[in-house]
Amino acid sequence: VARKLANYLRLGEAELGILDRMVATARERYFPARADILREGERPRVMRFMLAGWAHRYKQLPDGRRQTVGYFLPGDVCDLHIPMMSGMDHSLASLTPTVLVEVEHHEFEQLLKSNSRLEKAFWWEGLVNLAIQREWTLNLGQRAAFERLAHLFCELYTRLECVGLASKNLFEFPLTQADLAEATGISAVHVNRTLRELREQNLTKFIGKTLVLQDIERLKSVAAFDARYLHLGHVGERADDE
């Protein structure tokens, strides 16, 4: 799974080798389920890469309301940025048991300086994160509960498929309904009702902890899911115009 790192960007064998080496030499960290990885206000000195497990980024209001602002799946970069910033404006926490590796910030900087294709790839990664965040804004702002959940499922499926963790319209789904509530901005009770609705319409169903997208085309259609915002499918295609 390690080498899927920035795999969904466009890289050659050489760059993949460099990444592999970086991951191999980096320190591995293990977190149990539901553990804080990084809390608001802290100033981490390292960069982190997800190897296994699910985690999420969340923000909190003074009165306790919480909003998940994004998920981390295997292969994702956790904090492409934070080492520079004045302090975390949000928190990171694992959802399942999680494996990640830590790379010193300046070591990573060196690596970027030494290879411009890698540098571009990580820029790209950052931009995709931005694009995802915009799509979430649209999701929360304009879509109804039913569409929101459908859209989230489509996104997760697509992203997991990319790293080989989803195929045949199904995948391991470790989130609780309360988790989904936090991510979609609807109440846990209503998430439940909406899932029933999805089930009754033969769009999705759960078999144990596996989520099955029974009719993925119709699901994408009701969710108005357009995978372009994930900016995938350019593996091997070079981003050079100059």
Q: Which residues bind DNA (CB under 7 A)?
A: 144-146, 176-178, 185-190, 192-196, 208-209
Q: What is the closest distance, in whole angstroms, from the C-beta atom of residue 37 to DNA in the complex?
A: 18
| Minimum CB–partner distance for residue 189 and DNA (Å) | 3
Output the 3-class SS for the chain.
CHHHCCCCCCCCHHHHHHHHHHHHHCEEEEECCCCEEECCCCCCCEEEEEEECCEEEEEECCCCCEEEEEEECCCCECCCCHHHCCCCCCEEEECCCEEEEEEEHHHHHHHHHHCHHHHHHHHHHHHHHHHHHHHHHHHHHHCCHHHHHHHHHHHHHHHHHHCCCCECCEEECCCCHHHHHHHHCCCHHHHHHHHHHHHHCCCEEEECCEEEECCHHHHHHHHCCCHHHHCCCCCCCCCCCC
**What does 234 interact with, of DNA, a second copy, none (CB < 5 to 8 A by kind)?**
a second copy
Q: How far is the CB of 165 from DNA (least distance, A)?
A: 19
User: Which residue of 59, 196, 209, 238 would you call a contact of a second copy, by CB under 8 A?
Assistant: 59
Question: Does the footprint of a second copy cover residue 115 (CB under 8 A)?
Answer: no
Residue 133 binds which entry of a second copy, DNA, none, CB below 5-8 Å type-dependent: a second copy
Q: Which residues bind a second copy (CB under 8 A)?
A: 45, 57, 59, 61-63, 65-67, 69-70, 81, 83-87, 89-90, 105-106, 109, 120, 123-124, 126-127, 129-131, 133-138, 140-143, 184-185, 224, 226, 228-229, 231, 234, 239, 241-242
